[in-house]
Structure 1
């Protein structure tokens, strides 16, 4: 296609068979916004694009023909989950915009197409996040096909994507979520200590309230943070360190309820939102951390009280 690729204020012109790289190099941990237009594309043609970044946004203006997006994330050599294990599994999630129109998004796996997102009408309910996994060596791509419309000038197919290691499978919100027994299982001490090292956020705090979001099928935990050890994005903010507040989401079926006590919240950022990983009571974390440190078995240091 002849579109424009925007990053850090620059515009890179691209032709067919375009391959895009992040400025962060092999890790590709940054975001990428890709914009293409169907006005210069022939009806029935298929343009090839490789997605190397771990997350980004694709805007397809005036869809025409089709785009085939191969998934080639440049992740760390060992993508570990909260348990410290690594299966080599890559999980991808796509989140269509509420203004997604003019195309249908398919998952292509070994030549077989599965519909992920249909062409939306104005009256359609909000689109849902769809997630799927790719095993090492498996050939997986996203196939974005324009639907026929007489007036394509008002059609824009936009979606965000994330390509992650196997930890993302625990956060899946697509139509086939993992069992609540596995998703809601309390972490053991080994998983807690690894989560402290690998999570996007590590926060000590208290639960103020828990709300339900039926559209997301999620519980929204409102947290008062007394100490923010680490956060990848500005998830917990406030006028001072002792008055930071934020929200953490978890699966609705886990049945989280507000209660007294201090917790250590860890987890991942999923499409800009905090999702809960391990969340032991702080005193239980302190005990596990002290024992592991004495045995020289802690995977990383944390300045605990």
Structure 2
């Protein structure tokens, strides 16, 4: 009987601490019932995944570690599930906590990022006696900040013009690169807008952000901060090179020069032999 109890406890701890693929984790605070202030360590080693913490009590430290020589340029972006509640998210380093997402901000669907060199993700359960019907859940994604347009949640994202070398690299390394025009702009809230793009040529796309529509034209939505001033208006007929990053299934704008300006830059680099990759410009 004693052996059965010990084996059951080991099985329960194994389920509560680690997932089998090292990308996602599911655990339960019920394992902390007699020690409400327990802190559990979790190690995830993938570029993206998720966490689901049922009946949160105590805290969970989430260590995001890719098998790479250096994580100096890696950021982790956290997107809470709409029903996530029961805990606050912090960045923890050497015992110091910095608030990343409160419960209210998770409910509002805010996405926040932090550099891996800043520390680990510290998920602390709220002090409540009733933990029923509470689940803390979010997706995470690791991004490199060395690629233009790969900081979609940064306050400066998509607002500053890209340098020539960034434009040339953007078409080679971005999650998407398309030639097209602004069909219309949709204001989603006080901070964010979606630019609906009518695409004439797809150079690359990581996922199916842009799809074939009526009359053979490709269409897609690209998000950007509203304060960057996206307007269809007089620029509606102008052609742009839209590049950027795909985060949690959404396209975020990076570099977006006028296509004619990019074409001049690209051909100059082609003549000088300094273009980082080749594209068809016909």
Tell me the TM-score normalized by structure 2.
0.83
Of 50, 69, 90, 1:57 maps to: 50
How many Å separate the matches in 2 of 1:274 and 1:2? 43
The residue number in structure 1 matching 2:141 is 162
Structure 2: tracts of 5 or more residues without a match:
1-8
Instruction: Tell me by how many angstroms 1:2 deviates.
Output: 8.0
How many Å separate the matches in 2 of 1:70 and 1:204? 39
The residue number in structure 2 matching 1:187 is 162
How many Å separate the matches in 2 of 1:3 and 1:74? 27
Of 28, 35, 40, 1:47 maps to: 40
Note if contact 2:85-2:103 (Cα within 8 Å) is conserved in structure 1: yes
How big is each residue's C-alpha offset from its partner over 1:99-139, in whole Å with a ceiling of 9 and x where there is no partner? 11111211112321122223349xx961311222244xx5x
The residue number in structure 2 matching 1:237 is 211
Note if contact 2:177-2:244 (Cα within 8 Å) is conserved in structure 1: yes
Q: Describe the SS at the equivalent of 1:171.
A: coil
Indicate the structure with greater helix content.
Answer: 2
Tell me the TM-score normalized by structure 1.
0.77
Larger Rg computed on CA atoms = 2
Is the aligned partner of 1:38 residue 2:29?
Answer: yes
Is the aligned partner of 1:144 residue 2:108?
Answer: no
Note if contact 1:223-1:247 (Cα within 8 Å) is conserved in structure 2: yes
Note if contact 1:184-1:254 (Cα within 8 Å) is conserved in structure 2: yes
The residue number in structure 1 matching 2:256 is 279
Of 89, 95, 98, 1:105 maps to: 89
Is the aligned partner of 1:71 residue 2:55?
Answer: no
Structure 1 window deviating more from structure 2 (291-300 vs 161-170): it is 161-170
How many Å separate the matches in 1 of 2:239 and 2:262? 11
How many Å separate the matches in 2 of 1:287 and 1:3? 63
Instruction: Tell me by how many angstroms 1:249 deviates.
Output: 1.0
Note if contact 2:16-2:26 (Cα within 8 Å) is conserved in structure 1: no
How big is each residue's C-alpha offset from its partner over 1:151-176, in whole Å with a ceiling of 9 and x where there is no partner? 32311001111221124774225xxx
Assess, with a 3 A threshold, how the Cα gap between structure 1 residues 62 and 17 changes in structure 2: closer, same or farther: closer
Assess, with a 3 A threshold, how the Cα gap between structure 1 residues 261 and 119 changes in structure 2: closer, same or farther: closer
How many Å separate the matches in 1 of 2:70 and 2:268? 27
Instruction: Tell me by how many angstroms 1:234 deviates.
Output: 0.8
Q: Describe the SS at the equivalent of 2:211.
A: coil
Q: Describe the SS at the equivalent of 1:39.
A: helix
The residue number in structure 2 matching 1:300 is 277
Alpha carbon RMSD of aligned pairs, Å? 2.9
How many Å separate the matches in 2 of 1:16 and 1:59? 11
How many Å separate the matches in 2 of 1:3 and 1:219? 48
